[in-house]
Amino acid sequence: MSAPEQKVAPRVTGIAHVFAATGYSLAGMVRLWGETAFRHEVGALVASLGLLAGIGAGPVELAALVGLFLILFAVEALNTAVECIVDRISPEWEEYARNAKDLGSFAVMCLLLTIVLFVAVVVWGHLALFG
């Protein structure tokens, strides 16, 4: 008995490819919104923007903060993808599965620490001007 044939969607090219890729990206964002960590990170972006705007940070600093958070969102998406794949191929506990998840988590933590450092340096720099 053979496995049922799965139909592969026809290749999309040109402008249709752009629209298809946008749809896939939006679906990924909707999927990521289901992750508590991602929602917390979005909240941290809003709070950080409010803090930096409140102390008079300039547009370059605000843009850099948004850029760092966009990178964080991308890393969080990759971490979630790793977790999904690991859970699918290894439903029982395995050391390699734990290692894969831990490494993804470490990547997210490194970027979070980078953002905290950036915000601290900007805040300190602006407060030092008035101190």
Place of tokens 């966009």: 70
| CA distance linking residue 76 with residue 57, whole number of Å | 26
Q: Could you tell me the pTM of the whole model? A: 0.86
Kindly list the domain boundaries of the chain, sorted by start residue.
Answer: 36-130
Note the pLDDT of residue 131. Answer: 58
Residues noted as catalytic:
76
Q: What is the CATH code for 36-130?
A: 1.10.287.3610
Note the pLDDT of residue 92. Answer: 84
Positions in the chain short of pLDDT 50: none
95 is in an annotated binding site: no
39 is in an annotated binding site: yes
Note the pLDDT of residue 13. Answer: 85
38 is in an annotated binding site: yes
Percentage of the residues of the chain whose pLDDT score is greater than 90: 75
H helix runs in the chain, sequence order: 15-33, 36-54, 59-89, 95-130
Note the pLDDT of residue 43. Answer: 99
Note the pLDDT of residue 130. Answer: 65
Note the pLDDT of residue 1. Answer: 54
40 is in an annotated binding site: yes
